Amino acid sequence: MSSSITWCAWGLAGAFFTLVALPLASSSPYPTPSRPDWSEPPAPVAMASASASGFSLASASSAPVPAETVRLVTPVKTLSIRRPIGDAPDAEHERPVVTASLGKYQAREPGYEQQMAAAPSMDDAAPVETPRPTAPRIRPTADQVSEYLWEVYQRQPVKKDRGGDFSWKDPAAANRMGKTLQAYVIVGMDTDFRELVYHAGKAMDAAGVEWTIVSGFRDDWRQSIASGLKARTGFSRHGGSQAVGGYGHGRAVDIGHVDRERNDEVWRWLDNNGAKYGLHRPYRFDPPHVEPRVEWRRLASALRRERVGAAAVAAAETREPSADTRPAASRKSRGIRVAHARTSRPARNGRRHN
């Protein structure tokens, strides 16, 4: 009995493998092109045109398409409108055909193919450089005091003292600090101290004394390479970090004559007139050395107000002349008009003033 069941099971398995599994394994997963939908579409059909009420209408969707084929493309409806006969516009602004695209593609204007054929290819065209955005230029404001002192410093290009030529030391110190020579030597001095030296220098120029700045600001490194009689590194009044606070706080300057043989003229003038500008020479063993006196900041503030105020008044006078500088005829005519206005003004009670 058990052997019969075994042979029956084997027979059913063989029949299932032969009739079901083997045909499925040998079949193709792709459908057979048995329907006309899979046939090759014919060549594009030319668009037909129809006219109605003087307008010309052309539509790709209205063209006859064979019933046995289905086109696998997205149809684009294009509408071309012509102006009716009898409504003739100016020839200059005439656009004979207005084309609108109703699909997802933009319609091309008439003559587009000819324009593209005449245009140079992208390979032959010169590359177009995109202009780089430029930052707005910021014009620096000229500092009247610093510009004048820098001009005085340059009056004597070669710097010498009893120790020899030291013209290379200031540029080397400026380069080491990453500043220009003008910013190092002049701007390194205190603002109020520069104001005092400015006014004293202008007075010397007016007196005919050809003075110059031999040495301005000096940082610690510049002081360390100085020669001769000098203060310790860091304790120089020219800009030592321990004495005054470093860059921007220099409170000393060495001055002299353009002709070094006449330095006594500059020093003598400063001894006689320096107190007026808050300056003096404190060390007789170092004649070129100049420092501020007591209460020098208050004096510098007063001199600055005087300089800025005088400049503002001068600018105002150049913009508009004062009443005293007007011609006499203009003042006289203005007085006549005022007098006439006073005599012709009616009073509150209806009478005129006499």
pLDDT at 64: 52
In sequence order, which residues have a C-beta less than 8 Å from that of residue 336 and are 6 or more positions away? none
pLDDT at 174: 97
Q: Which CATH number characterizes residue 266's domain? A: 3.30.1380.10
Q: Is residue 331 part of a domain?
A: no
Q: What is the pTM of this model?
A: 0.52
For the chain, how many structural domains are there in total? Answer: 1
In sequence order, which residues have a C-beta less than 8 Å from that of residue 52 and are 6 or more positions away? none
pLDDT at 18: 78
pLDDT at 201: 98
Number of neighbours of residue 235 by Cβ within 10 angstroms: 14
Q: Is residue 9 part of a domain?
A: no
The tokens for 306 are 């005087």
Q: Is residue 337 part of a domain?
A: no
pLDDT at 48: 40
pLDDT digits (tens, 9 = 90+) for 69-90: 545 555 555 555 555 554 555 5
Rounded Cα gap, residues 247 and 239, in angstroms: 6
Q: Is residue 19 part of a domain?
A: no
Following DSSP, what letter does each residue of 220-236 receive, concatenated? HHHHHT--SS-PPTT--
Rounded Cα gap, residues 252 and 127, in angstroms: 60
Q: At what angle do helices 191-206 and 296-319 cross, to 10 degrees?
A: 60
Least confident of 28-37, 176-185, 198-207: 28-37
270, pLDDT greater than 50: yes
In sequence order, which residues have a C-beta less than 8 Å from that of residue 187 and are 6 or more positions away? 146, 217, 248
Least confident of 103-117, 236-250, 306-320: 103-117
pLDDT digits (tens, 9 = 90+) for 202-229: 999 999 999 999 999 999 999 999 988 8
The tokens for 199 are 């006014």
pLDDT digits (tens, 9 = 90+) for 148-181: 999 999 999 999 888 889 999 999 999 999 999 9
Number of neighbours of residue 250 by Cβ within 10 angstroms: 27
**For residue 150, how far is the Cα from the chain centroid?**
29
Number of neighbours of residue 11 by Cβ within 10 angstroms: 10
108, pLDDT greater than 80: no
- Mean pLDDT on 296-319: 82
Q: Is residue 262 part of a domain?
A: yes
Rounded to 5 degrees, φ, ψ at 282 are -80, -25
**For residue 272, how far is the Cα from the chain centroid?**
51
Q: Is residue 323 part of a domain?
A: no
Rounded Cα gap, residues 236 and 246, in angstroms: 9
Q: Is residue 270 part of a domain?
A: yes
Rounded Cα gap, residues 1 and 54, in angstroms: 97
The tokens for 175 are 């380069």
Q: Is residue 131 part of a domain?
A: no
pLDDT at 106: 52
Q: Which domain holds residue 260?
A: 144-310
